[in-house]
Amino acid sequence: MTNDPASLGNLHGIVVPSPVPYWPPAAGWYVVGILLLSLGLAWLIHALLEYRRAAYRRAALVELKSATTMEEVATLLKRTAIAASSRDQVASLSGQDWMAWLADTSGLSLEEPVRQVLSSSLYGSSQPGDVSAVARFTGDWIRAHRCEQVPSRAEPAADEVQPPESSPC
């Protein structure tokens, strides 16, 4: 070794710093982890609530598979509509008002044979008709209806006490 600082003989090996440890992470990763867990939990709760809210739809679709007569299909459609919305809003509808409500809540267009069968007096009379067309519309309506879009057809009186909404929608 020489005393010359520029001499190549004075060089030493490269000193490599110790590797950066993966654990413990920086504080920001804890925040990100907590946020991701919170979002995942919120999504899980939302999905569970949606699944429970749609229970009446699943039950109606199962019952629709076993319906064989026009009266059974029409009754199922009305019962499902009452379960989806308030009884006060749906139970009194019939004829063209019933057809308009079904169209408003689902965005589906009613074919003329289905419109004729559903708007006529089905309950109590055995009227011939295409059960498969009405059952197909009923299944489509059960899957597609949205209760939030339903306009209120009748405004309650100011002094009338309204029951709390128990709609699954």
Among residues 81, 52, 64, 90, which one has the least CA distance to residue 144?
A: 81
For 77, residues 6+ apart whose C-beta sits below 8 A from its C-beta are 102, 118, 138, 141, 142
pLDDT score of 96 more than 80:
yes
pLDDT score of 123 more than 60:
no
User: What span, in angstroms and rounded, lies between the C-alpha atoms of 113 and 79?
Assistant: 21
Radius of gyration for the chain, computed over Cα atoms and rounded to the nearest angstrom: 33
For 103, residues 6+ apart whose C-beta sits below 8 A from its C-beta are 109, 110
Comparing 146 with 161, the larger pLDDT belongs to: 146
Task: Tell me 13's DSSP state.
Answer: -
pLDDT score of 156 more than 60:
no
User: What span, in angstroms and rounded, lies between the C-alpha atoms of 45 and 37?
Assistant: 12
CB 134 within 8 A of CB 74: yes
For 81, residues 6+ apart whose C-beta sits below 8 A from its C-beta are 90, 101, 102, 105, 145
Confidence of residue 129 (pLDDT cuts 50, 70, 90): low
**Domain ranges in the chain?**
23-53, 55-149
Comparing 72 with 1, the larger pLDDT belongs to: 72
User: What span, in angstroms and rounded, lies between the C-alpha atoms of 26 and 28?
Assistant: 5
